[in-house]
Structure 1
Amino acid sequence: MAIQQKWLVSVPAATLWTASDSSREIDFEAITNPVNLDSWLEKLTYEPRLELCDGNLVQSQVLYGEEVIILEEKDGWVHVVVPSQPSSKDGRGYPGWLPKAQLTKNEDWKLDRRMAAVIQKKKATLYSNDREPELVLSYQTILPVLKEEAEWIQVQTPEGAGYLKPEDVQVYETIEAIRKGSGKDIIDAGEQFIGLPYLWGGMSSFGYDCSGFSYSMCKANGFIIPRDAHDQAEAGYSVELDAIEPGDLLFFAYEEGKGKLHHVGIYYGDGKLLHSPNTGKTIEIIDLKDTIYEKELCAARRYWQETEE
């Protein structure tokens, strides 16, 4: 019988694995609580990084404070769906497996009833009640606000309460009030991550994959879009390739655009692409002209247009 309980992620970024036995010995620091993502990623040289994708080991990532629904439990692991990451794989949210140790049950999570603090810096420190550094959180982590002070924002955490610095966050009256940005705003959000190494399944400022990057930059501007590239290519507004504008998502398929869709990036303007390419590379801006991407370009979608008045 499915458990169907709502739990919260209690580590800065929880890796969503394909199965309960997908993680390897080298991944130990990514499946514990506390995690050590920097140390884990430093140890992941090219081959073990590539295996995350080629071995179908990882599906996605889930940020601190994000809600998951537990479907079943097995040997310290839980099969979950992530409601904040829409997917054609499951109408309830993106499916995968997490170590139960990285989740906390919280029946009084106030995100839908309180002001929301959204982290705007690439990374921000969460401080304890004693104002001691506790965790380093990712860009776009969202936590309920308990109290605003001159020098601190008190936030609810999965375990209780903590503090963020006002300069690291934007506070909104509700999560629904998060500002809807323009195409240029999507570009501006993405530019700050130029040089960040690609991470398969990445949905955090510790590393993004191609669709995790497009998802997160749209999320930063108030748009929740599907998690995967092939789903992103089916939603939003269709845009003719001769009418693309900065902030539109561009999609690429094998066989010179006629085969299976395999990549997404953000149109930068002036014939350029802002994207997280693949394992071994970093987020970059490139000219599309005379590249494989120019040949494989097959579709464009606009999300930022949906709330224009």
Structure 2
Amino acid sequence: MLEDLKGKTALVTGAGKRTGIGYGIAKKLAGLGSHVIVADLGNLAREAGQVPTGTASEMEDIAREFTSQFGRRALAVSVDVTDPDSIEQMVKAIQGQFERIDVLCNNAGASFGVPNTVVYYDEQAWMKTIDVNLLNPFIAATLECLTQMAGAKPKRQRVFVKTDPQMHGDICGIIGMTNGITGSCVVSFPDALAKRIVARFLGENEATISAAMVEDGIGEVANMVAGGAKRKFTETPYRFDISTPTVVHGEPVKLFNPADTVAIACEFTADPAWTETFLIEIALK
């Protein structure tokens, strides 16, 4: 038994189906002495054509199996990894049973609308697949930054394929990706929202925030998103370089992607009290 895993608490997403890789990972961790949290969709809504996932009863059965076979504590918890609210509910459920998480295995991914051929692949299903496997590290890093640094309460409004070059708002942080995956992540804000966020960062009144301060503040947001996403991607199979972000400010702001690039965008409100929205756009080749 590896002593450094004995008594640790491990969270494995996508672990609720005995035919899946997540189950194998969770079982191995339990066998090595870890307490295990089995996370999967459970009885949450799932989409037609989605790869089979663990039901609540299957997950509970797996948790009982680990406790019986290995003498480890095990908890089954439902989560939709594409939904920030669902992730928050999962965290609350875990906090009621465990003091901390020592090992996090982000095994859950998705391929929606399969099996199918490329010719007939459903666009919305493909968008959701991209959202889970590539957008989420950038989304999570952005939301963590705005929540922790500005006390914001972001809420996702929509996900869509973006076909026009016009950026959302007046100021954006552009993060480039090369060597493995080529493309960019752009986080863009209207001036009014950017000023609100930077004022929160600095603990200042909005009226005292200059254009230069806004640019510096959004630059810091982009730096934090790049760093946070880079750390999150170390837990995935994706390997590529992330460049130092660039801030572009002015109206209109346009970003022209190569013709063979697909851009997926997620729009968020930053706070229930604010009407403005910001956009996270991922363009990949």
TM-score between the two structures when normalised by the length of structure 2: 0.24
Larger radius of gyration: 2
The structure richer in strand per residue is: 1
Higher RCO structure, 1 or 2 (CA under 8 Å, sep 6+): 2
TM-score between the two structures when normalised by the length of structure 1: 0.23
The structure richer in helix per residue is: 2
